[in-house]
């Protein structure tokens, strides 16, 4: 495994303009993540966790500082470049699942393949991942016919179907009961351990955070502590 960092940020800053007021969301974040690591990011609301995710995931550019993801310099990237990054290098899992409601679970996964520039049908080997996720027999259902836990597992399948370098999970258990939460966290750990998937997970839940190899604590737009 390549031991060089898959994510590296240096003095990363992001300031949002709200009306006529500048609101700093990140105030100089230095973070290094190696391939295959499972990081939990914790911190109170407004600490900058989501903003950090959005920048690493290429959803928004930084205001200043350096950010490299899978060898690509995001600070210098255009909007089109960040779009390309999201196609293949980054997979997102959201608190609200964010499946396309009009499509079946299978088609939600297929659309990610299609947008990523691959054949819509996942490779045969992906069947194993679907079995690991426990959704192989639920693929022809629309999100409204699936439980929260099932929806989140479909969302995880969609996030990793293009073999992204990193999986960004934003409160993946925030809308789930404790049983489903445990199942999703076990799946994330399984993906990390079996497939070597690099995972960054935002969570408020200390039990969920304990699944990570490291826990990064954020407050007021900065990383204040990294514990293992």
Residues in the site for other proteins, rule: CB under 8 A? 54, 57, 59-60, 80, 83-88, 92, 94, 98-103, 107, 110-116, 120, 158
Nearer to other proteins, 169 or 215 (CB): 169
> Cβ 166 to other proteins, closest distance in Å?
14
Question: Long-range contact list for 179-185, CB < 8 A, 24+ apart?
Answer: 179/149, 180/147, 180/148, 180/149, 180/152, 181/205, 181/208, 183/134, 183/149, 183/153, 184/149, 184/152, 184/153, 184/156, 185/211
> Cβ 225 to other proteins, closest distance in Å?
27
> Cβ 86 to other proteins, closest distance in Å?
4
What are the tokens at 83? 């779009």
Nearer to other proteins, 25 or 215 (CB): 25
What are the tokens at 228? 């293992």
Nearer to other proteins, 107 or 220 (CB): 107
Nearer to other proteins, 10 or 86 (CB): 86
d(CA 72, CA 136): 34
Phi, psi of 130 (to 5 degrees): -65, -40
What are the tokens at 24? 């700093």
> Cβ 50 to other proteins, closest distance in Å?
8
Nearer to other proteins, 89 or 217 (CB): 89
Pairing of strands 64-69, 38-42: unpaired
> Cβ 188 to other proteins, closest distance in Å?
18
């Amino acid at each position: 495994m390549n031991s060089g960092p898959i994510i590296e940020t240096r003095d990363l800053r992001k300031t949002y303009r709200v009306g006529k007021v500048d609101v700093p969301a990140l105030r100089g974040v230095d973070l290094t993540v190696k391939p295959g690591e499972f990081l939990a990011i914790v911190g109170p609301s407004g600490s900058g966790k989501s903003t950090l995710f959005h920048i690493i995931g290429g959803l928004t550019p930084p205001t200043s500082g350096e950010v490299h993801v899978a060898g690509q310099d995001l600070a210098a990237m255009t909007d089109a470049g960040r779009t390309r990054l999201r196609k293949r290098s980054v997979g997102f899992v959201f608190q609200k699942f964010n499946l396309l409601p009009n499509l079946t679970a299978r088609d939600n996964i297929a659309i990610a393949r299609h947008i990523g520039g691959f054949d819509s049908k996942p490779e045969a080997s992906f069947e194993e991942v679907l079995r690991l996720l426990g959704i192989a027999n639920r693929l022809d259902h629309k999100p409204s016919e699936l439980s929260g836990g099932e929806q989140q597992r479909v969302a995880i399948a969609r996030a990793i179907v293009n073999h992204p370098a990193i999986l960004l999970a934003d409160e993946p258990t925030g809308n789930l009961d404790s049983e489903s939460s445990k199942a999703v966290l076990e799946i994330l750990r399984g993906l990390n351990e079996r497939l070597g998937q690099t995972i960054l997970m935002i969570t408020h839940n200390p039990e969920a955070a304990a699944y990570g190899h490291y826990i990064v604590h954020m407050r007021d737009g900065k990383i204040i502590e990294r514990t293992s």
